[in-house]
A = this chain, B = another copy of it.
Amino acid sequence: METIRIGLCGVGNVGGEVARRLLSHDSLLNSAAGTELKLVQIGARKGKGAISLDNVDIRTDLRDVVANPDIDVFVELIGGVDLAYELVTDALNNGKHVVTANKALISTHGNEIFKLAKEKNLQIGFEASVAGGTPVIKALREGLVANEVSWFAGILNGTSNYILSDMQMNGAQFSEALSKAQNLGLAESDPTLDINGTDAAQKASILASLAFGVPLDFSNVSFTGIDELELIDLNFATELGYTIKHIAYGEIENSEVTVSAHPTLVSNESILSQVGKEMNALEINCKGIGSTVYYGPGAGPSPTASAVLADLVDVSKGSLACPELNKESNVYSKEDKKVFARYFRLLVKDEPGVIAKISSLFAENNLSIEALIQHEDRNKSDDINKVPVVIVSGPVNDASADKISKSLIDLDEVDQHLKQYRIHSDKK
């Protein structure tokens, strides 16, 4: 049996799990790989104190690992962008295949990394960078390879999904749900990148590049987070037969790609609405075959290690070809063309003629009103003279929805505090 020699940098929760699995001489892994997966060196800036492992060479200078001529594959699990990029580049320049779980790295420097790997005829595995233990990148790169992807819609941030699920199921306020997620280890002490949408947007940019064959370009991803979502909107969504999820979205139409990640209403009849707790899911819609959906744990040491180890098995078989991100003439869209049905919540003065004024404004903008809720009681309004009104409109793009929102709050009868969200439909 051949041996694949592995060097690993980063021994946090994920790196520690990968190291332990490799050092246990796992027959499952070796039999699948058809070779021995041998961990020969670990880079840990804190040295031996970072992890208690025997029979492995631990270096505090991570550069030792990427320079080591006895290593075939470099596994990058330190996170962050700059040092990770330097190490990965050095590893490739030194002729090593690379496996990483680092979505920020791929989202930021994927183009350069893939180019270098291709020049050097080396393999890159990054399954763990999106959806953790659920093999969605494999589905895009291999399982669905015969199909043109039309669009994808994904719940890609477990922290956000846990918080939204808790708010919707248990009526928790955002801050309560966030604290609970932090106590359970599902949110970091600084949860900014999760709850402001950055994490999901980075993952969306990776998926869009693979799905549509365009170079990685994070600047083309429009995104917002769940940090300003209010419980009242989740309650109205429930009343309307929807769930609010943070949905990363990518679409191609006439060779133009749009990528985004926003809180979005999802019909309770759709599979995505059933994705609770910290779980992830990705719906990929292809021409001819329609939607396939991939659901599973999006984070955590075991699921992420599972993806890293599967990549190592694939590298040992030589099957991780470098992604081609220059497919035909596909480009990012310069315009905001994609339309969604839309949820608007307004706070309006409780006086005659207001609904007429609002609905006239929708009519002037040629936008249909599909549903309207105004409750008789004034519950949940902070301002005793104002009542919430919820309108579900027909399809409209983000820019036009923003314009209408602005016109609405310009009305004397409408409060400045207006919320509007996309409504996802999988019936396309």
| Chain A residues at the B interface, C-beta cutoff of 8 Å | 21, 26-29, 31-32, 34, 127, 133-135, 138-139, 142-148, 269-271, 274-275, 281, 286, 288-297, 300, 302-303, 305-307, 309-310, 313-314, 317-319, 321, 324, 327-328
Write the nearest CB–CB distance from A89 to chain B, whole angstroms.
24
Residues of B within 8 A of A138 (CB): 135, 138-139, 142-143
Residues of B within 8 A of A143 (CB): 127, 134-135, 138-139, 307, 310
Q: A297–B289 contact, CB under 8 A?
A: yes
CA of A270 to CA of B276, assembled, Å: 10
Write the nearest CB–CB distance from A271 to chain B, whole angstroms.
5
Residues of B within 8 A of A269 (CB): 274
A293 and chain B: residue at smallest CB distance: B295
Residues of B within 8 A of A34 (CB): 321
A317 and chain B: residue at smallest CB distance: B319
Q: B319–A314 contact, CB under 8 A?
A: yes
Q: B303–A289 contact, CB under 8 A?
A: yes
Q: A306–B32 contact, CB under 8 A?
A: no
CA of A147 to CA of B300, assembled, Å: 14
In the complex, which of the residues B134, B147, B302, B317 contacts A292, with contact meaning CB atoms closer than 8 Å?
Answer: B134
Write the nearest CB–CB distance from A150 to chain B, whole angstroms.
13
In the complex, which of the residues B134, B142, B271, B302 contacts A313, with contact meaning CB atoms closer than 8 Å?
Answer: B142
In the complex, which of the residues B293, B294, B297, B313 contacts A145, with contact meaning CB atoms closer than 8 Å?
Answer: B313
Known: A145-B309, A317-B321. 8 other contacts (CB 8 A): A29-B145, A32-B324, A133-B147, A270-B274, A271-B295, A288-B303, A290-B303, A319-B319
CA of A324 to CA of B31, assembled, Å: 8
Residues of B within 8 A of A275 (CB): 271
Q: Given known contacts A271-B295, A292-B133, A302-B288, is B319 in contact with A28 (CB within 8 Å)?
A: no
| 29 A-B pairs in the complex with CB atoms less than 8 angstroms apart | A27-B328, A28-B147, A28-B148, A29-B146, A31-B327, A32-B324, A34-B321, A127-B143, A133-B289, A135-B142, A135-B143, A139-B143, A142-B314, A143-B310, A145-B313, A146-B306, A147-B306, A271-B274, A281-B293, A288-B302, A289-B297, A289-B306, A290-B296, A290-B297, A291-B296, A292-B294, A317-B318, A318-B318, A318-B319
